[in-house]
């Protein structure tokens, strides 16, 4: 049989198919061994009561009424300088380690309301953390897009160095 450089035989197809199956199995096994496996199928989880964002008045009511878990998605140094009262630090840049530290608290709020904020409306860290949390099964995650700037600009209370 005369094979040119570009001819493909049934044996080649079977070899490629076998390699694809082995690669898929290895990828799925590696994902299953991760501390936070990637979801196999992307599913958008509905936000609380159909709203994925809270305005300042709604966010203040959640904070003052203790109606949910508040997460600060800003980097840790900014959190230490000042944050919304009762907020926990879950920075987007260090999500895996921070999530591991907060896992117990987040587990208790898996069905409750979780609100994430970052610096200001231009900051996307809160939306990224929201997406991560939803992919990990936290269903009711909302974002306060006004962030730290709107909170402090309204003269609302703070914890940390900027009290």
In the predicted model, is pLDDT for residue 42 greater than 60? no
* Rounded percentage of the chain residues whose pLDDT exceeds 70: 83
Coil, helix or strand for 73? coil
Domain carrying residue 62: 48-153
Is position 12 within any domain? Answer: no
* 94 is a domain residue: yes
Is there a domain that residue 41 lies in? Answer: no
Number of domains in the chain: 1
In a domain, 133, yes or no: yes
In a domain, 28, yes or no: no
Query: Could you tell me the CATH number of the domain that includes residue 101?
Result: 3.40.250.10
Q: Tokens 């009762």, residue? A: 86
Residue 38 belongs to some domain of the structure: no
Task: Specify the pTM.
Answer: 0.68
Considering the domain boundaries, does residue 42 fall inside one? no
| pLDDT per position as a tens digit, 118-127 | 999 999 999 9
Mean pLDDT along residues 82-105: 93
Burial class for 97, CB neighbours closer than 10 Å (0-12, 13-18, 19+): exposed
CA 161 and chain centroid, separation = 26
């Amino acid at each position: 049989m005369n094979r040119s450089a570009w001819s493909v035989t049934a044996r080649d197809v079977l070899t490629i198919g076998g390699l694809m199956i082995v690669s898929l199995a290895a990828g799925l096994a590696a994902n299953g061994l991760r501390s936070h496996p990637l979801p196999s199928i992307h599913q958008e989880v509905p936000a609380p009561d159909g709203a994925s964002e809270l305005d300042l008045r709604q966010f203040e009511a959640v904070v003052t009424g203790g109606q949910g878990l508040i997460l600060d998605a800003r980097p840790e140094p900014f959190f230490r300088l000042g944050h919304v009262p009762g907020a926990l630090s879950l920075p987007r840049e260090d999500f895996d380690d921070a999530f591991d530290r907060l896992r117990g608290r987040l587990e208790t709020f898996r069905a409750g309301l979780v609100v994430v904020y970052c610096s200001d409306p231009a900051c996307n860290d809160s939306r990224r953390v929201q997406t991560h949390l939803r992919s990990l099964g936290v269903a009711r995650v909302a974002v306060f897009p006004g962030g730290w700037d709107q909170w402090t600009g309204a003269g609302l209370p703070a914890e940390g160095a900027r009290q």
